[in-house]
Amino acid sequence: MIGIMCAMVEELEPILEQVEVKDKIHHGNNTYYLASFDNKDIVLAYSKIGKVNAAITATAMIEKFGVEKLLFSGVAGAIDEDLKIGDLIVATEVCQHDIDLTVFGYKHGFIPESQIFFDCDSNLINIAEHVADKLGIKLKKGIIASGDQFVHSKEKKEWIKEVFGASAIEMEGGAVGCVTWNYQVPFFMLRAISDTAEEGAGVDFDAFLEESSKVSAKFLLEMLKEI
């Protein structure tokens, strides 16, 4: 079973309308759509925004639906200057920039018995690169940082870049990476840029959420054909 996760309904809609939904299951205040696409069984859901909501959905996908690969599609704020609105980025690793146990000598993003960075699945990243070549589109790869805040300041964005080497910023991937690492389930995340995470990012986000969600959804569906 393949799991497809988004944070917001706007990110899931463009995927859901392209698959054959067989059943809808309500569980833990989430709706899980059982569907098939290209003769593959998939379960889809949006978690709601933020790391806790994302962790709930990722865990349910694994524990209740037996998902063996978890793919995330959505939008993100750009940290790297070469990422423009509408561009795609694939996560090589994810982290949580709002974890801070530095007073005990730990690095930012580190929790004892856990990790700062969680690797995304190299096989799925390879498939993404193959699909990008086939479609003739530019696909950036990089670290994506998550935190429970919408980043809209150049200072904060630059700090996250400095401390984590992140190329993009959002609010769920680091949590999903932590869940999939604990359960040893392959994880892949694709995001399309909706804003630059600086002053005024909220306005850009509202303006480009729908369009960028479609960019990410379209690519993810192409990937599904190759999995």
Q: Are 35 and 21 in contact (CB under 8 A)?
A: yes
Using alpha carbons, select from 129, 125, 155 the residue that is nearest to residue 143.
Answer: 125
Closest distance between ligand 4EZ and the C-beta of residue 107, in Å? 21
Whether 195 is catalytic is: yes
Between 129 and 155, name the residue whose CB sits nearer to ligand 4EZ.
155
Which stretches of the chain bind ligand 4EZ, using CB under 6 A? 7, 49, 75-77, 150-152, 169-172, 194-195, 197, 201, 205
Q: Where are the beta strands (DSSP E) in 134-222?
A: 139-146, 166-170, 187-195
Between 35 and 78, name the residue whose CB sits nearer to ligand 4EZ.
78
From 170, 195, 198, 204, active-site residue: 195
Q: How far is CA 122 from CA 86, 92, 145, 187, in A?
A: 24, 8, 18, 9
From 11, 87, 170, 204, active-site residue: 11
Closest distance between ligand 4EZ and the C-beta of residue 108, in Å? 17
Closest distance between ligand 4EZ and the C-beta of residue 162, in Å? 17
User: Would you please indicate which residues are annotated as catalytic (active-site) residues?
Assistant: 11, 195
